[in-house]
């Protein structure tokens, strides 16, 4: 049975063979196979050379931020980000490699992982939370909704501490990264995270201002300690000193407020389109 540690080793040291390209992605996003000692892992490979320059993020840093997001997720023990590593020797140069999330029953991935959706206005499913009323492509009234789900709750808190500027519904996936494990809910596309400035944009506003669960706060307390130790050392190779300091401050703020984040002023709080 392949473990997460085995998967990370294959991603770090295995040969990468590009199989195709995800054409809808704004940056070069390649489907690849990582192979080591007879073990093959499907992965997403994002070479730095394929990153589109952004006005509000330093050039050639998006892949590093994706790895930093995985390190934070792993330290929390929440498993939000699929295993992600940095490669200096990819087929198209340095970049990140992340385990591919396969839908539980095969076939196409359901946008939003079955947990984020746009529904006709007035038809919010039981157990789901409203985020925003809007109009669909044909002008019809619709509502952006998401499930009141424990995994999404943790993802919401996670996004607030990594300062995720682009939590679209399509960045929520439900599936497997290994064939012998239970399906789980994952978040992907963390290239625009860890900015010094407040940039949180997410579709997960259903709990805005509500109290955060005690167990989640205990995990954040442990993360706060980790950020002054080995985790902080690892992140210092991926982020600037100022970005790391601001991350520590965001974790402390979430603990101090003990509440889910509220939309801020001066920056759009929703990514658009939502998917």
What band does 3 get if pLDDT is binned at 50, 70 and 90? confident
pTM given for the model: 0.94
What band does 266 get if pLDDT is binned at 50, 70 and 90? low
Q: How confident is the model over 182-203, as pLDDT tens digits? A: 899 999 999 999 999 999 999 9
> Above 90 in pLDDT, residue 180?
no
Q: What is the 3-state secondary structure (H, E, C) of 31-96?
A: EEEEEECCEEEEEEEEEHHHCCCECCECCCCHHHHHHHHHHHHHHHCCCCCCCEEEEEEECCEEEE
Share of the chain above pLDDT 90, in %: 70
Q: Which residues of 254-272 are buried (b: 16+ CB within 10 A; e: fewer)?
A: bbeeeebbeeeeeeebbbe
Q: How far apart are CA 35 and CA 50, in angstroms?
A: 23
Q: How confident is the model over 44-100, as pLDDT tens digits? A: 999 998 888 888 898 999 999 999 999 999 999 999 999 999 999 999 999 999 999
């Amino acid at each position: 049975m392949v473990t997460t540690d085995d998967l990370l080793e294959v991603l770090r040291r295995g040969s990468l063979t590009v199989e195709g390209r995800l054409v809808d992605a704004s940056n070069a996003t390649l489907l690849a196979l990582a192979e080591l000692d007879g073990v093959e892992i499907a992965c997403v490979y994002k070479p730095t050379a394929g990153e589109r320059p952004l006005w509000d993020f330093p050039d050639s840093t998006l892949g590093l931020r994706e790895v930093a997001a995985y390190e934070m997720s792993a330290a929390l023990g929440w498993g939000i980000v699929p295993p992600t590593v940095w490669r200096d020797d990819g087929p198209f140069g340095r970049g990140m490699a992340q385990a591919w999330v396969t839908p539980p029953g095969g076939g196409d991935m359901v946008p939003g992982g079955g947990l984020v959706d746009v529904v006709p206005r007035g038809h919010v499913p039981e157990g789901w939370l409203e985020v925003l009323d809007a109009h669909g492509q044909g002008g019809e009234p619709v509502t952006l909704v998401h499930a009141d789900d424990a995994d999404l709750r943790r993802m919401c808190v996670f996004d607030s501490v990594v300062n995720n500027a682009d939590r679209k519904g399509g960045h929520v996936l439900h599936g497997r990264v290994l064939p012998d494990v239970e399906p789980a809910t994952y978040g992907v596309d963390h290239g625009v995270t860890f900015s010094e400035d407040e940039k949180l944009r997410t579709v997960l506003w259903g709990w805005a201002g509500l109290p955060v669960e005690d167990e989640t706060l205990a995990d954040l307390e442990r993360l706060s300690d980790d950020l002054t130790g080995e985790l902080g050392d690892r992140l210092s190779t991926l982020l600037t000193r100022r970005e790391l300091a601001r991350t520590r401050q965001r974790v402390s703020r979430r603990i101090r407020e003990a509440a889910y984040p509220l939309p801020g002023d001066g920056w759009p709080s929703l990514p658009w389109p939502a998917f």
